[in-house]
Structure 1
Amino acid sequence: MLSTKDMLVLGMMVFALFLGAGNIIFPPMAGFQSGNQWFSTSLGFLVTGVLLPFLTLVTVAIRGRGERLSIDLPSWFAVLFWIALYLIVGSTFAMPRVTNTAYEMGFLPLGLIEKNTTTHLTFALIFNLLSMFFMLKQGTMISAIGKFMTPALLILLVVVGIAVVAKPLSPIEEPTGLYAVNGFFSGIIDGYQTMDVLSAMAFGGIVARALYTKGITNPKQIGFITIKAGMISVLLLAALYLCLFYLGATSHAVSVFADPALNATNGGQIFSRYVDALFGSVGTWLMGGIVLLASMTTLVGVTSAAADYFATFHHRLGYRFWVVVFTLLTTLVSTFGLDTLLRVTIPALLMIYPTSVTLVLLQFVRHKLKSPRFTYRFTICVIVLMSLLDTLKQLKWLNGDLLQLFSYIPLSEYGLGWLLPGIIAFAISLLISLSFKETDTEIATPNTVK
């Protein structure tokens, strides 16, 4: 078993891996819009933005690798799915976006350089090379994130959190939009849209391999330790998100102005203006430190997980080779700019996220299924079809009667159009499988991949 110190380091690492810059800047806007419903909204947010990723992390860690969740699917589909997942959350979409967020929100406001193509490329190269240094040795990466990066990040966040609670900038206003109707449900939707389940599917393998280096390979032990370490992360994330929601709810003084052009349009602006109002010029450096550290820990974790997966395809193209490849690819793709990447990333995520969530949820009932293989394939087939329609809708390629028909599906306006059809497909698969003479549960045993 792990010592208390090692358990704390592991929990801190998990916290830092999940805490990307996007997770810091999203809750303030939700808090601002939810007004005096900020607390109930934040509770809903914690269900899908913290609890669901936590369950995913534990599930993947017990299985050893995220890929073990798809053993009941056709091998060609599983490979395509995992390649797509690691590329989307990695070097083709999400990690270049993280790099650009670090540049535009963390570094540029410090006023040390001018914004142009040369400084952008230079920053991206240095930032990614520095991250690569932590990735090249997986054991060193765990220590660096858990012992050094996370404590520094936590100190900065605690300073901001105490100041926000002790000296809120303005009274809390009335909620707007759907937050006024049902804050808790709106929070559930907001938490779902962080799409942290994708990250958890990658990070679960990191936790399993970290424990393997400590000589812990038994799935039950891994599950127990991951739950304990994950609870440290859950408590830290919950406390942070509550502070950020409260920050947003009390940000009216820095979010709304007589000139609408000056109004805050995203959580990053709210967070930055709030910190500046509390700390003055020091706030710019606080904001910069938080964004840079949060971005780097996520970049290191996701890229490491992607490299580890791609290294399984050929023994000569190992982990370090893919770390270098993905570092260079992230640097190159990041030159397209943040706005372009955001436009492309959302449809791509809408395509694979429902499948990811479904794979995790099915894992909890797999041992009860008469025919896991059939149930998985039938349900996932429907989920993929609905996800495709949702993606086409997002790209505005879905028109006419099909668009009208899709709009009738409950929750489709929130990107959850797959949920009800998926539940129906799951129920139908259970009924059909009752007629099967034999079960196919022989591949259900957990396996820790070394």
Structure 2
Amino acid sequence: MQNKQMTMGDTIGLGFMTFAFFLGAGNLIFPPFAGHMAGDNTLPAMIGFLLTAVGMPLVGLIAIAKSNGKVTAFLPSAAATALTVSIYLIIGPIIAAPRTGLVAFEIGALPFLSADATNGQLYYTLGFFLITMVLSAFPGNLLDSVGKVLTPLLIFLLVGLAVSVFILPGAEPGVPQGDYASSPLTKGILEGYNTMDTLASLIFGMLIIDILRKKGVTEAATQTKYLVRAALIAAGGLAFVYLSLFYLGTTAGDLAIGAETGGQLLTQYVTHYFGNTGVILLASVVTLACLTTAVGLVSACSEYFNELLPQISYRIWVLLMCAGCMAMANLGLKELINFSIPVLVTVYPVAIALVLVTFLTQKFARPEFSHRLVLSVALVFGIFDGLKVAGLDTSFLNFLPLYAEGMAWLLPTLLTMFICLFIKKPVKAETVA
């Protein structure tokens, strides 16, 4: 089959599509709240956030291209399946998909409800995930059409919001709060986990390679070239959005009073400067963005689990996924985020280690052994970090470097990678005649 070349316009289009993949509406709520909490320490916190929310997803996409979509090839099949299942559950019914319903409620419905409205969240999320279930179970061109209109509209809204942040008068940065006062860089890195984009890059990278194949780009080297270009465009867009939202939170001042999440802070900012019209526009676009994101996540998860367990039909998986999303969503946004942090702190080191060892595969004399050892170390120490964040008494581990900062996995994992570079192939014993 002839290997096609893409035009500049096609490449830019692929980059914007990749940007849209990553920019779920949930991603809008973390940077402003982190900026508000960081205050005077915004710069190091922002750098840390961008490392895991932009840098690692970019590197993840490049790793997928480099490995031709087979980043788990050196793992035992059971371990590879367990890791993939974990990622799908996290970006599906456990955290990411329920979060879309809650963000849609906080930004799209809560500003218009009276203070004495009861069970609003329950009824809203029930309706939200019923619509998600119908659209996921009977996919068609409707969702694609909405997406083609919605993505440019969302980008236009974000650009307008970003410009307003730098033009409109803002307050001076406040006093750093919590961990942002003592270790803003590390806290920013951990906050970037919440976007889940490094995990998503392992899924989206394979999806983009499949899209390139369908466009006739068949050679691995050419696929890598276009995927890297698309990744750079997406990373630039994400960085622009995150920087402006971080600055919004840092300079929000009194507008942040009473806000417990980034969604509430964002709504209060828009209400103050743009009135009801701005709130309605923000609510409409974010609600639709959340809905399309939810449908995409539920569909992707249902397709994967249908392939894994084909005896259960795709539509039954859709029903199960939406029921799970509904249950998790009614924890509440703040509670869901608190629940997700220990999970992400445990899984993220494994995902980052997987991305890094992919670049070193050709340097390892024993790549299979090296991959397995590095990921095992990352998992063990990631569990330690996760237990600490979950609030369990793990003071006996305080001797570990960076444990207090929540990154005990980093140095042992990097040291293991370094050691693996010097492990040589075993010498085969000569057969005696």
| TM-score exceeds 0.5 | yes
Match of 1:207 in 2: 208
Superposition deviation, residue 59 in structure 1:
2.2
Query: Which amino acid letter does the alignment assign opposite residue 170 of structure 1?
Result: A
Asked whether the 8 Å contact 2:302–2:314 carries over to 1, the reply is yes
In structure 1, the residue matched to 2:398 is 407
Are the aligned partners of 1:32 and 1:248 in contact in 2 as well (CA < 8 Å)?
yes
Q: Which residue of 1 aligns with 2:72?
A: 70
Is the CA contact 2:346–2:385 (under 8 Å) kept in the aligned structure 1?
yes
CA distance in 2, matches of 1:141, 1:207: 22
Q: Supply the distance in 2 between the matched residues of 1:145 and 1:207 (Cα, whole angstroms).
A: 20
**Residue matched to 1:426:** 417
Which sections of structure 1, spanning at least 5 residues, go unmatched?
Answer: 256-261, 439-450
Q: Partner amino acid for 2:23?
A: L
The one-letter code of the counterpart of 1:422 is T
Does residue 351 (structure 1) correspond to residue 346 (structure 2)? The answer is: yes
Report the secondary structure of 1:91's partner residue: helix
- Paired letter, 1:89: I
Q: Structure 1 residue 417: deviation in Å?
A: 1.2
1:305 aligns with 2:295: no
- CA displacement at 1:138 relative to structure 2: 8.2
Q: Residues 4, 122 of structure 1: CA spacing in aligned structure 2 closer, same or farther, 3 A cutoff? A: farther
Give per-residue Cα distances to partners, 1:277-319, cap 9 Å, x unaligned.
1112223224323532442343244334323432432556576
Aligned-residue offset at 1:360:
0.7
Counterparts of 1:314 and 1:178, CA distance in 2: 43
1:14 to 18, 24, 31: 18
Distance in 1, matches of 2:76 and 2:31, equals: 38
Task: Flag the 1:55–1:142 CA change in 2: closer, same or farther, 3 A.
Answer: farther
Show structure 1 runs of 4+ deviating over 6 A.
Answer: 136-139
* d(CA) in 1 for partners of 2:146, 2:58: 19
Decide whether the 8 Å contact of 1:16 with 1:297 is kept in 2. no
Of 85, 88, 91, the match for 2:90: 88
- 1:35 aligned partner, one-letter code: G
Report the equivalent of 1:446: none
Contact 2:186 2:405 in 1 (8 A): no
Q: Deviations along 1:168-218, whole A, 9 cap, x unmatched?
A: 232344656665677656544443454421121122222122223322232
- Deviates most, 145-154 or 133-142: 133-142
CA contact (8 A) 1:11 1:230 kept: yes
1:196 aligns with 2:191: no
2:427 corresponds in structure 1 to 437
CA distance in 1: counterparts of 2:128 and 2:245, whole angstroms: 26
1:34 is aligned to 2:38: yes
In the alignment, the residues of structure 1 paired with residue 134 and residue 387 of structure 2 have an alpha-carbon distance, to the nearest angstrom, of 39
Structure 1 residue identity aligned to 2:273: L
TM-superposed CA distance for 1:267, in Å, is 2.6
- C-alpha deviation, 1:90, in angstroms: 0.7
* Number of the residue aligned with 1:248: 249
Alpha-carbon distance change, 344 to 186 in structure 1, aligned in 2, over 3 angstroms: closer
Aligned counterparts of 2:324 and 2:406: Cα–Cα separation in 1: 29
CA drift of 1:332 comes to 4.6
Please name the residue that 1:275 is paired with: 270
Greater mean deviation of Cα atoms: 213-222 or 334-343: 334-343
The Cα offsets for residues 15-52 of structure 1, whole Å up to 9 and x where unpaired, read as 22222333212111222233355345434432221021
Q: CA deviation at 1:251?
A: 0.9
8 Å CA contact 2:91–2:196 kept in 1: the answer is no
Query: 2:56 matched to which residue of 1?
Result: 52
Alignment of 1:38-437 (within 5 A): 38-39=42-43, 41-61=45-65, 63=67, 65=69, 68-111=70-113, 115-117=117-119, 120-131=121-132, 143-144=144-145, 147-173=148-174, 175=176, 187-192=188-193, 194-255=195-256, 262-314=257-309, 322-323=317-318, 325-397=320-392, 399=393, 403-431=394-422, 433-434=423-424, 436-437=426-427
Letter in 2 for 1:353: Y
- Range that drifts further, 350-359 or 404-413: 404-413
CA distance in 1 between counterparts of 2:6 and 2:114 reads 43
Shift in alpha-carbon separation, 1:435–1:11, aligned structure 2, 3 A: closer
Q: Secondary structure at the match of 2:404?
A: helix
1-side partners of 2:275 and 2:15: how far apart? 33
Calculate the aligned-residue CA RMSD, in Å: 3.2
* Structure 2 CA distance for partners of 1:185 and 1:86, relative to 1, 3 Å: closer
Alpha-carbon shift at residue 163 of structure 1 (Å) = 1.9
Whole-Å separation in 2 of the counterparts to 1:25 and 1:421: 32
User: Does 357-366 or 287-296 show the bigger shift?
Assistant: 287-296
- Over 3 Å counting, the alpha-carbon distance change for 1:21 and 1:408 in structure 2 is farther
Q: 1:299 to 1:161 in 2, by over 3 A?
A: same
> Aligned letter for 1:108?
L
SS in 1 for 2:21: helix
Identity of aligned residues (%): 34
Gaps of 5+ in 2: 429-433
Q: 1:162 to 1:349 in 2, by over 3 A?
A: same
Aligned residue in 1 for 2:431: none
The letter for the 2-side match of 1:152 is: L
Alpha-carbon offset, residue 246 of structure 1: 1.6
Counterpart amino acid of residue 22 in structure 1? G
Distance (Å, rounded) in 2 between the aligned partners of 1:424 and 1:251? 42
Secondary structure of the 1:69 match is: coil
Deviation, structure 1 residue 243? 1.1
- 1:154 deviates by 1.1
Gap change, CA 1:314 and 1:263, over 3 Å in 2:
closer
| Cα 1:3/1:343, change in 2 over 3 Å | same
